[in-house]
Structure 1
Amino acid sequence: MLSVQSDNQQPQFVALRRLACAGTTAAIAAAATNPVEVIRVRFQLESAATRPPSVYDFALRLARDEGLVRGLMQPGVSAWMASMGVAFRPTARTDHRIPGASGVSTPATAFAAGLSTGALTNSLACPFFNVKALQQSAPSSSSSLAASLALVSRSAGWAGHYRGVSALFVRGGALSAGQLGGYDAAKRAVRANGLAEGAGTHVLCSLLAAGCAAVLSLPPDIVLNRYQGAPAVGAHYSSVGDCASQLVRREGVLSLWRGLGPQYAKLAPIFLMTLPLYEQLRRLAGLGYLR
């Protein structure tokens, strides 16, 4: 029978096991959810006057016109894996450290942990997110991650890799804060109602956390995708702030939450894969569930 060990046992292997669990989780989740990410990015970028009224019809058009593989599965998948890997690994273990720093772990400390580490790690992953946005904005992009990074360097220099980093900083913090804070609050709530820790609990908490993260992260996410994808669609913005102000001025404040359904549809599968999978991989590795 498999025993669940605490993080304090065999400390020389704990960091390596955490890294392996988080890296495996990020790679699997990124590959599985890339088609939804492509649909979301293209739906946000295309004008309402030319795109189909529903996300479902829009996705069918992409698959029909560009193919399932070239249109939905391939664009930006390697950049998505790389960006998720960089952003997920530190965030996944931050809440474990909070009790040692503050003496108590609460949803508020989990929220703060996600806000700080999410903002930092997403900013560090900006070159990969930038390439992902460019590849997924253009129809049937087939450039490799290395080729796309080199193209950005040639066309815009080192600064081009950090195009939109301020929006990514905000989006990353909001997303991770909603993820960790919502997940922690949900786990406490279901435990308080007598549900035992396990896969079912993790699935339910992941769905609730995805809702929190979707609402918090959608405004900076829309601005980020528009700003980073502007070169691919011939648009021009002088800054992230200019992009946001033009969007609100032309389409209204509620446009910042346009596509909340696709945003949740994107995050829910990611959270359903990353959080329960990470919890189970930790258990199998002898690290125990997140607390």
Structure 2
Amino acid sequence: MSLTQAQPASGREARETVAPAVDLVLGASACCLACVFTNPLEVVKTRLQLQGELQARGTYPRPYRGFVTSVVAVVRADGLCGLQKGLAAGLLYQGLMNGVRFYCYSLACQAGLTQRPGGTVVAGAVAGALGAFVGSPAYLIKTQLQAQTVAAMAVGHQHHHQSVLGALETIWRQQGLAGLWRGVGGAVPRVMVGSAAQLATFASAKAWVQEQQWLPEDSWLVALAGGMISSVAVAAVMTPFDVVSTRLYNQPVDGTGRGQLYSGLADCLVKIWRQEGPLALYKGLGPAYLRLGPHTILSMLFWDELRKLATRGQHQGT
């Protein structure tokens, strides 16, 4: 089942679809709700992914060792509120990126493109690329805010932003408009791959769960099960790009706005592979899955329930 068109049930007609503009609002809202619950996992994942830079440069502090101990380390350094570092920027990113992504994917469904062979994958990838580009400045700020901590626990470059607006002002003043899209070359492939995998595998997984008839066809548990299966594929294909994207966004820049550690996506991939080994591309996989899993499940669940309410409201309005 695609995200914007329900498959016909046995002996019943398909449910009415909603307009792309409505899917924009519902998709953004659902993913923002999910972000509130999964942002602490994003904080831990970001710091684990940045930790290898210190080792590559000849210093070997490892304040973050595994998921549980990393959570404890964050709380000790920054308090319980530290687990929600970058939440405002995360909500902004989820709203922008997923609003655009759901809107574009809904347009593709409306045009019948997803009914063609491979259409779901292509539509998901294109929609994800556009969403990633629009949301890139928010992701840049989110990453930099989540990396900030006390000196003893710091990994990666510390930008010392005080707020989302303060970060926007600093980046704009020092690097200009282009600086807000620094790192977008790593973000677009990351979201393209993740979006294509999520939409394609969620559709297939949900259809498979329905065919098994383990659960009532219209139950929210069907979307829950489909999201759980989809999350495994998303984490597997997305984590290497996520590591690269985190490094690109957080690296320091010179006076011209060029990265001091990596020149781009390919350079970052090669340096990580050579200096830290291929498994470094899966740094933070545990927290990445623990974040992507619940985020995928909650996003799809919230989206489905909100969409049901919207469809019900359309029927009542007519």
For the aligned pair, the TM-score class normalised by the smaller chain equals 0.7 to 0.9
Structure 2 counterparts to residues 111-260 of structure 1, below 5 A: 111-139=121-149, 143-194=162-213, 195=215, 196-231=217-252, 236-260=261-285
Q: What displacement does 1:227 show?
A: 1.5
> Which residue does the alignment assign to 2:40?
35
Task: Confirm whether residue 72 of structure 1 aligns to residue 83 of structure 2.
Answer: yes
Q: 1:38 to 1:240 in 2, by over 3 A?
A: same
> Which residue does the alignment assign to 2:72?
60
Q: 1:240 to 1:103 in 2, by over 3 A?
A: closer
* Equivalent residues of 2:77, 2:149 under 8 A apart: no
* Equivalent residues of 1:29, 1:274 under 8 A apart: yes
Q: What displacement does 1:90 show?
A: 3.1
Amino acid at match of 1:222: V
Q: What displacement does 1:222 show?
A: 0.3
Specify the SS of the correspondent of 2:252.
helix
Distance 1:103 1:203 in 2: 26
Amino acid at match of 1:27: C
TM superposition score normalised by structure 2: 0.79
* Equivalent residues of 1:55, 1:262 under 8 A apart: yes
Worse-matched range after superposition: 260-269 or 95-104: 95-104
> Which residue does the alignment assign to 2:94?
84
Q: What displacement does 1:277 show?
A: 0.8
Deviations 1:166-204 (A, max 9, x none): 111100101111110111110121122224132000000
Q: What displacement does 1:78 show?
A: 1.1
* Equivalent residues of 2:25, 2:99 under 8 A apart: no
* Equivalent residues of 1:6, 1:287 under 8 A apart: no
* Equivalent residues of 2:20, 2:103 under 8 A apart: no
Q: What displacement does 1:5 show?
A: 5.8
* Equivalent residues of 2:35, 2:91 under 8 A apart: yes
Specify the SS of the correspondent of 2:311.
coil
* Equivalent residues of 1:26, 1:88 under 8 A apart: yes
Amino acid at match of 2:300: L
Q: What displacement does 1:24 show?
A: 2.2
* Equivalent residues of 1:106, 1:184 under 8 A apart: no
* Count of aligned pairs: 277
Amino acid at match of 1:286: T
Distance 2:175 2:113 in 1: 47
Query: How high is the sequence identity, in percent, across the aligned residues?
Result: 27
Distance 2:276 2:239 in 1: 15
RMSD: 2.5
Specify the SS of the correspondent of 2:100.
helix
Unpaired runs of at least 5, structure 2:
1-13, 151-159, 254-258, 314-318
Specify the SS of the correspondent of 2:286.
helix
Amino acid at match of 2:133: S
> Which residue does the alignment assign to 1:11?
none
Deviations 1:36-64 (A, max 9, x none): 11111011112474134321101101101
